[in-house]
Homo-oligomer: A and B are copies of this chain.
Amino acid sequence: MEEGNQSHTVSDDSIKALDLARQVRCIVKLGGAAITCKNELETIHEENLATVSSHLRKTMVSGSSSSKIIGMDWSKRPGQSDIASIADDFGEQEVGLASPFIVVHGAGSFGHFQASKSGVHKGGLGRSLVKAGFVATRISVTSLNLQIVRALAREGIPSVGMSPFSCGWSTCERNIAAVDLHGVSKAINFGFVPVLHGDAVFDDSLGCTILSGDVIIRHLAEHLKPDYVVFLTDVLGVYDRPPSEPNAVLLREIVVGEDGRWSVLQPIMHNSNTEVEITVAAHDTTGGMVTKISEAAMIAKLGIEVYIVKAATDHSLRALSGKIRGKIPDDWLGTVIRFSR
């Protein structure tokens, strides 16, 4: 679901005033490649998702280390015959979020087949293949959304699925045209964690397109001004070339200037920055890394630190906890993207 929505021109009156009582601490992207099995159609990477959910509980829920987990998924699960016992042991304690989080996930092996087969991103709802693909894509991504909400709920995170299509997100020529963030901010104010995702949406010009999770995050960051943003991926961070190649170098710190151009601060590169950009662009044909970096750079330009880090590792747990803010520890592996005047 990495269709590019490059530019970004939303008219001010399409964004309604937000009444956000609480400062958003972090927007987390669960990358499709990290939480699904890339090459297996519609298959969750259960182990990663469970670990990521547990990390999110540790960083979100107050006093989560001491008290026992209050499970919030009371639905039937395969192999379980009964759920009646789950809801019996509630005390009167409040389920507190230490501070508000928003989760946005990609599609991975969900939605991608349906979208690419039908060309939903190119629009043309008059064609039966596109219309059917729109329906099929939404079924696939909302089914992933439901499973992620359930995984978070099992960890005691009060998560609520909010599909961008249903929430009224739409585009015009692939740029975000209308968004009502009232629902998201209301959920945050009531102490819930909104879970959004890359989705098929209506496009005023093309009929329909794909709105990627990365573009959604940038838009949320712009309007909700979180303390920081974390992208959880399936590699350690951003490399100077595809990480599978020998001698690939992990870029630890990227700075973005006023003009939106970014350069590598750490490690000191022997090649020029221009060359780095080209090799990363080559990586893009398989991983969409340039889109991710350019979205991340736009977030960083707002003065919000961005961490790109491998999901389900101690490094990602530290990034989620905000322990990387300000200074990067020597033993931390990942990429920080920040603004520099």
Contact = CB atoms under 8 A, between A and B. Distances in A.
A74 B117 contact: yes
Contacts of A94: 126-128, 131
A160 B146 contact: no
Nearest to A117: B87
A234 interface: no
A172 interface: no
Nearest to A159: B135
Interface in A300-318: none
Q: For chain A, which range describes its interface: under 10, 10 to 19, 20 to 34, or 35 or more residues?
A: 35 or more
A133 interface: yes
Contacts of A190: 125, 202, 207-208
B160 A128 contact: no
Contacts of A73: 135-136, 139
Contact of A127 (B84, B92, B165): B92
A7 interface: no
A75 B128 contact: no
Interface stretch (A180-188, A222-230, A246-254): A180-188
A188 to B, nearest CB: 12
A41 interface: yes
A163 interface: yes
* Most chain B C-beta atoms within 10 Å of own C-beta, residue among A91, A132, A159: A132
B83 A128 contact: no
A167 interface: yes
Contacts of A70: 128, 132
A150 interface: yes
Interface in A64-98: 70-76, 82-84, 87, 90-95
30 contacts: A42-B76, A71-B132, A72-B136, A73-B136, A74-B132, A74-B136, A74-B139, A75-B114, A75-B136, A75-B140, A87-B117, A87-B129, A87-B132, A87-B136, A90-B128, A125-B190, A132-B158, A134-B192, A135-B160, A138-B149, A139-B150, A161-B166, A162-B165, A162-B166, A167-B168, A167-B183, A168-B180, A168-B182, A187-B202, A190-B202
The 8 A-B residue pairs whose C-beta atoms are closest, nearest first, are A166-B166, A74-B136, A90-B129, A72-B135, A72-B132, A95-B128, A87-B117, A42-B76
Interface of A: 41-42, 70-76, 82-84, 87, 90-95, 113-114, 117-118, 125-129, 131-136, 138-140, 142-143, 146, 149-150, 153, 156, 158-163, 165-168, 170, 180, 182-183, 186-187, 190-192, 202, 207-208
